[in-house]
Amino acid sequence: MTTFATLSDLLEQEPNIQDYGLLDWSQELASAQTEVTRHIAVRWWPQYARDISLDIRFATILNGATMDPTLLDPTQWTKATVYYCLAHQICPKLTKFDVDGDRFQVMMDYYARRYETEFDIVMREGISYDSNQDATFTTSEKNPTVSLRLKR
């Protein structure tokens, strides 16, 4: 399985994250990747599957299949995975959950908002999905979720 984000990606965003006693965040990054993949499957795949099923050129691709996360472009999801990991995996482990709040609670809120923004941007740009499984991502395989057509 391809990896969306590594420890170096995490350290690029939050360079001091290893200063709190835990040095290896690979388990948290893997868990965050699983959650990001679930969000893609829920927020993007149904629309993509419906749109592609209407196109006769791709009728044999889906056949009722579910999304295959290995066909996603991992570079599109690096930032989102790091933001999700910080907001939902790492900061909750570091906070003391004080009534008045602490640094990590503020970071949790901040990175949760950054995650939602990044996820929305990627969806609007178009998610690259290697539907023909040739290990390359072409512009025809990039499917934005927005269009300028009026839907009624």
107-116 confidence digits (pLDDT tens): 999 999 999 9
Q: Is 43 exposed, middle or buried (0-12, 13-18, 19+ CB in 10 A)?
A: middle
Highest mean pLDDT among 45-49, 88-92, 98-102: 88-92
pLDDT in tens, 26-40: 999 999 999 999 999
- CB distance 5 to 32 below 8 Å: yes
What is the reported pTM?
0.84
Residue 59 gets the label, from left (phi > 0), alpha (psi -120 to 50) or beta, of: alpha
Domain count for the chain, please give it. 1
The radius of gyration of the chain's CA atoms, rounded to the nearest angstrom, is 18
139 in a structural domain: no
93 in a structural domain: yes
| Domain assignment of residue 101, given as a range | 7-16+23-126
> In the structure encoding, which two tokens stand for residue 93, read together?
């482990």
85 in a structural domain: yes
1 in a structural domain: no
Q: Is 23 exposed, middle or buried (0-12, 13-18, 19+ CB in 10 A)?
A: exposed
- Distance between CA atoms of residues 84 and 89, nearest Å: 7
145 in a structural domain: no
Using CA atoms in the order 77, 128, 46, 44, what is the torsion angle rounded to 10 degrees? Answer: 30
pLDDT at 88: 95
Cα 119 to the chain's mean position, in Å? Answer: 6
